[in-house]
């Protein structure tokens, strides 16, 4: 672009923040722990016998035991190669439910 200028992140800003592509074992274990905790909350609400739309939608979500590792630790991303990116790259991923992918990208 500008002659000998290499458009690296460092050249632009000066500081580089790196993030690994995959989560390590501890992070994945914590993801599983959080998924199980959310499953418990949904089960408790279902057990109470209350009926509401949010509950019907929540019961359609796969449980942690039914999810493939690919669904547990990665999410759909239209801009990445393979259309998948690590779950840890989603903002607030520890407090957001992202269990399913769009239809056609589930395998």
Partner 1 sequence: FFKITLRRSPIGLPRKHRAAVKALGLSKLSQTVYHSHTPIIAGMILKVKELLEVKNVKRVPTPEE
58 binds partner 1 (CB under 8 A): yes
Q: How many angstroms separate the CA atoms of 94 and 85, rounded? A: 15
Q: How many angstroms separate the CA atoms of 104 and 15, rounded? A: 39
Closer Cβ to partner 1, 55 or 67, answer by number: 55
Which residue carries 């989560």 as its tokens? 23
Least CB distance to partner 1 at residue 76 (A) = 19
50 binds partner 1 (CB under 8 A): yes
Closer Cβ to partner 1, 39 or 83, answer by number: 39
Distance of CA 97 to the CA centre of its chain: 8
Contact 50, 59 (CB under 8 A): no
15 binds partner 1 (CB under 8 A): no
Q: Interface residues with partner 1 (CB under 8 A)?
A: 34, 37-38, 40-42, 44-45, 47-55, 58, 92, 94-97
């Amino acid at each position: 672009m500008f002659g000998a200028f290499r458009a690296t992140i460092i050249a632009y800003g000066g500081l580089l923040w790196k993030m690994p592509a995959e989560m390590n074992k501890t992070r994945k274990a914590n993801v599983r722990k959080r998924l199980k905790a959310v499953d418990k909350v949904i089960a408790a609400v279902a057990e109470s016998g209350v009926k509401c739309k949010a509950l019907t939608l929540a019961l359609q979500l796969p449980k942690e035991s039914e999810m493939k590792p690919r669904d547990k630790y990665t999410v759909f991303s239209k801009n990445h190669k393979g259309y998948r990116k690590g779950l840890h790259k989603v903002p607030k991923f520890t407090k957001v439910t992202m269990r399913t992918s769009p239809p056609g990208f589930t395998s």
